[in-house]
Structure 1
């Protein structure tokens, strides 16, 4: 592009180059569509305290570990198609096991999590002098970034897949949203579909649960037999049989 920048500056656009340090190169075509930004980015801002974390899909996580202030502002700049989650750091392992590939996409499908590589942590110490705007960014190559706003100091843990570049820089877009995101999953089509699939699976599991038999004898003694047991029944004149389907 010539004639746009002053002096002898030139900009070379090189789409299509693959870099192993970019997370987008590890994703399938369908997963890459969720990272695509087709319109103006809008900030999604959280106000978080120590021992809380923010996930960007199943690709990146920020932990607020220690801070000299009560809370900090964390603004996510990434594709609006990517679901986010904010919650307690103590539940982060559960999020990885139960929600990566489901509510938190990409990756698409639980089996893809291991294919992306080892989940590793990088510690970052930050400091800022203003609450009104973000002071620095923590970016993952090929994905997006967390913009941090605080007046004080903090130690953060940044998680992504091994080999993906994590860069700390001055804030590229210092503004944040005027409306804060709430704890839990952000409202998105991905989360909604994952919840529906999970509820359907639970219903099917209930239907497949074996039926128990409760046998009541004339002497009022009760014998409960599960579906895997075998018993020889006496004539109906001897026992009154009450069949009860118990479900959980």
Structure 2
């Protein structure tokens, strides 16, 4: 692709190879755009014609440049995290990058957590999690962008908090940030010429500016790539099995030590030491889980991976990275978290191990529930 071809909406270099990348445009659309002298990337085209924002992502270096720009502005930062994958949503060093600008914390996808969980308790827990990363939000809200739950309330809170500021919406990939922005657009479509696009000076990153009533802007920024997320090792068809779309139903297993639970073929939980106890797993309802003895686990995985233990399957199983082991001792009731997949809640005094594809993080945190 000719590097001189740029989207007239956002300035990104036009390319037809990477559908998830900046500037992606099907080759047929490039030809038509050149003929009409209106060459837009697919993201800008959808934005102009359908008021639909498609997600794009950026690297750590791109993100540092983006945030250094925000730090020099007078802005309210709306920081969106996936409430089902909080640890995978954390942006390291965010508090250092945004300077003195206030941060609003928004926990998205709250609809996938059990409805029995008290939301005020969940808000407190979420705030504590980001506090550990040095982030001190001025307020914390829970929303479901997909179900348009509490989005209007979020806009009211933004209006109260921003004062004489622009608003920047930031988050890692796969937290539902673009879905949230699209819901905001639906609530504000009475405005003519609603969307403008621009880019930060000196980069090919695009930002999307939504005009606010007082002349300020609500700015959507590209998502930051976190390579430790499960989403980066599974194809889309398998992500639909492991990433919850509906309210999850906790699954309880009566376990004694030296037992293993396989989470499809993508992860493994070993109960190494502790009392016989009911352990609860919080994973997508469609994810198959199989229990076996720890002594037999390696053989079981080698024999059934890609068939009984799925996803992955077929060609995807052949290219799937090997599982890497992490061991933990729980000093209090804790969650053993498989980033982007879910977690097992384990009792105090237990010793456990979590296995995940190489590159995907497994960690232990104080129990959410």
Short-chain TM bin: 0.5 to 0.7
Q: 2 CA distance for matches of 1:5 and 1:76?
A: 35
The structure with higher relative contact order (CA 8 Å, sep 6+) is 1
Indicate if the aligned counterparts of 2:254 and 2:276 stay in contact, CA closer than 8 A: yes
Q: 2 CA distance for matches of 1:136 and 1:4?
A: 32
Q: Structure 1 residue 8: deviation in Å?
A: 4.3
Partner of 2:295, secondary structure, is helix
TM-aligned CA distance change 1:144 to 1:5, over 3 Å? farther
Q: Which runs of 5+ in 2 are unaligned?
A: 1-153, 171-175, 179-222
TM-aligned CA distance change 1:136 to 1:29, over 3 Å? same
Indicate if the aligned counterparts of 2:243 and 2:341 stay in contact, CA closer than 8 A: no
Q: Structure 1 residue 34: deviation in Å?
A: 0.9
Q: Structure 1 residue 6: deviation in Å?
A: 11
Partner of 2:330, secondary structure, is strand
TM-aligned CA distance change 1:30 to 1:4, over 3 Å? same
Larger Rg: 1
Name the Cα RMSD after superposition.
2.6
Q: Structure 1 residue 73: deviation in Å?
A: 2.9
Query: In the alignment, what sits opposite 1:121?
Result: 325
Number of equivalent positions: 162
TM-aligned CA distance change 1:40 to 1:6, over 3 Å? farther
Task: From 31, 34, 47, give the equivalent of 2:238.
Answer: 31
Point out the structure with the larger helix share.
Answer: 2
Q: 2 CA distance for matches of 1:112 and 1:25?
A: 13
Q: 1 CA distance for matches of 2:276 and 2:260?
A: 12
Query: In the alignment, what sits opposite 1:41?
Result: 248
Point out the structure with the larger strand share.
Answer: 1
Q: Which runs of 5+ in 1 are unaligned?
A: 129-134, 175-248
Task: From 336, 344, 358, give the equivalent of 1:146.
Answer: 344
Q: 1 CA distance for matches of 2:244 and 2:253?
A: 21
Partner of 1:163, secondary structure, is coil
Query: In the alignment, what sits opposite 2:177?
Result: 14
Query: In the alignment, what sits opposite 1:158?
Result: 354
1:171 corresponds to 2:367: yes
Deviation sequence 1:192-229 (CA, Å, 0-9, x none): xxxxxxxxxxxxxxxxxxxxxxxxxxxxxxxxxxxxxx
Indicate if the aligned counterparts of 2:243 and 2:340 stay in contact, CA closer than 8 A: no
Query: In the alignment, what sits opposite 1:112?
Result: 316
TM-score of the superposed pair, with normalisation by structure 1: 0.58
Range with bigger deviation, 3-12 or 43-52: 3-12
Q: 1 CA distance for matches of 2:242 and 2:304?
A: 18
